[in-house]
Structure 1
Amino acid sequence: MTSDEKRAELREKIEAGEKRNEERALADRARDAAESATEFVKAHPIATIGGAIAIGLAIGAMTKPGRRVARRGGVLATLFADAALAYGMHAIDRAGDLARDGQDKLEDLGESMAASARSARRDTAYFADKAADRTGVAARSASRKAGRTVRNLRSRITH
């Protein structure tokens, strides 16, 4: 296998890995959105039902039969449709706020993890420097002792 073939194969593997990561990230975001929606529905069931009704009425008011009913129902139906539309917009804004809150929490988590990694790197560097210093001290001490021993042996041999 030539180096060009190896590079092409490696490039394909990298692209496949990047694609898997993108799909996984999209799936994670979808799962988070679904969990947030479920939590919101559990926390606010009446508001959710009211929002669904309001959105349905707003969509209905935009269709031809819905406009006909609104004309027949008069001002009250129009006001109700406007209120439903406003409520629907509020619900959409709230969902956007929840998404931004989730993003902020992820950013905070990322910053916390980065700070922990920096701290661990500093601690590791400190301990490595300390070990190097101790090794240097031990080497110098051993060198001095070896020098003394050699001098003592020489002095005994010469006397």
Structure 2
Amino acid sequence: MADTEKREELKNRIEAGQQRHADRTVADYARDARDSATAFVKEHPIATVAGGVAVGVLIASIVPGPGRRMRRRATQRGSALAAMLAELGTAYGASLLDSLGHAARAGGDRLEDLGDAIGDGARDLRREAGAQSETVRESARRLTRDVGKKTGRRMRDLRTRIAQ
């Protein structure tokens, strides 16, 4: 019974896979192939250039020709293809480095702006604290003066009462 269930499950899986395969279009396969190739080139630019050069040399050496002149042309075409692939890889690498440079500059600018904002905030807090301390100092001076006046008046009133 267990074998029958396993066969049935396997049969259902195969049918589901065939249905998924039938539902996909050529455009889906082409899109997947494009995405895979782009991802590989982005992850391995040097390997891509080296592979392009190797394929170019291989094609140039395999191309049959009636004579030496034909082989020379095929070799030149293969070399041109390899050079073009190498240039493409170099351009991609330069573009990647340029993008990294822009990202680094943008990050540095953001850090600089953040530092400026923190510095401005600290200066504002220092000014505010200075103003508050000046206000407290002035209040303490006035309070001391007023208490001194009131104490002096009370002492004077107390002396006059004692003297009478």
Please give the TM-score of this superposition, normalised by the length of structure 2. Answer: 0.58
Q: 1:46 to 1:66 in 2, by over 3 A?
A: closer
Matched pairs, number = 113
User: Matches of residues 130-149 of structure 1 in structure 2 within 5 Å?
Assistant: 130-149=135-154
- Aligned partners of 1:117 and 1:68: how far apart in 2? 65
Contact 1:54–1:81 (8 Å) recurs in 2? no
- Aligned partners of 2:107 and 2:43: how far apart in 1? 23
- Aligned partners of 1:114 and 1:70: how far apart in 2? 64
User: Matches of residues 51-90 of structure 1 in structure 2 within 5 Å?
Assistant: 51-58=42-49, 60=50, 68-69=57-58, 72=75, 73-90=78-95
Q: 1:145 to 1:91 in 2, by over 3 A?
A: same
- Secondary structure in 2 matching 1:114: helix
Please give the TM-score of this superposition, normalised by the length of structure 1. Answer: 0.60
Where structure 2 has 5 or more consecutive residues not aligned to the other structure, the ranges are: 1-35, 61-74
Partner amino acid, structure 2, of 1:142: V
Q: Which structure has the larger Rg?
A: 2
1:120 counterpart residue number: 125
Query: Percent identity between the aligned chains?
Result: 29
CA RMSD, 1 decimal: 2.9
Where structure 1 has 5 or more consecutive residues not aligned to the other structure, the ranges are: 1-44
Which structure 1 residue ranges, 4+ long, deviate > 4 Å from structure 2?
A: 45-49, 65-72
